[in-house]
Amino acid sequence: MTQKQCDILVDGSVVTVVFADFPIEIEESLALTISHDRKYAFEKAWLEGTNMFMGRTPLFVSNSQQQVKDVTHQAELFIGACSEPRMRWKLVIELYDVQTAQSHTLSVFFQTDYS
C-alpha cells in the first residue's frame, strides 16, 4: 500500500480502509476507519508482521456508525518497533456476510521505515 486509502472488492461490495496518518509511523497510536456494506458484520481485525514474526496486535474498534447502505468503524492500533529498519505488515480484517453466512478474511499490506 502506497497511499492512505485502500479499497478491497468483496463479492461486488467495496470495503474501504483509511489510515489517518500516512506514511505510517512506528511506536505511535494509529487511527483508521473501516467502511463496508451493511450486509457484513465486522468480526475482528489484527496486525501482524510479514517479514518478522511479532505476534498479533489487536485492532481496537472505538465507535461504529450505521448509515443507510454501509457501516463505518473508527479504530485504533499500536505499531511497535523492532530491529528491522523496514518492516512489512499485514492488517487482517474478518467480516461475516449475514445474508450468505460466509466469512471473509481481507488483508491490507503496508510497510514502515525508520533509520
Per-residue pLDDT tens over the stretch 12-34: 999 999 999 888 888 888 999 99
Q: Domain ranges in the chain?
A: 5-79+86-113
**The C-alpha cell that represents 42 in the structure block:** 465486522
Mean pLDDT in residue range 35-39: 96
pLDDT band at 1 (very low <50, low <70, confident <90, very high): low
> Do residues 57 and 49 make contact, with C-beta atoms less than 8 angstroms apart?
no
pLDDT band at 115 (very low <50, low <70, confident <90, very high): low
Looking at the structure, give the CATH architecture of the domain made up of residues 5-79+86-113: Sandwich (2.60)
Number of residues that make up the chain: 115
**Rounded to 10 degrees, what is the CA torsion of 79, 80, 86, 90?**
-40
Closest residue by Cα to residue 62 from 34, 98, 25, 95: 34
Per-residue pLDDT tens over the stretch 43-94: 999 999 999 888 899 999 999 999 989 999 999 998 887 778 889 999 999 9
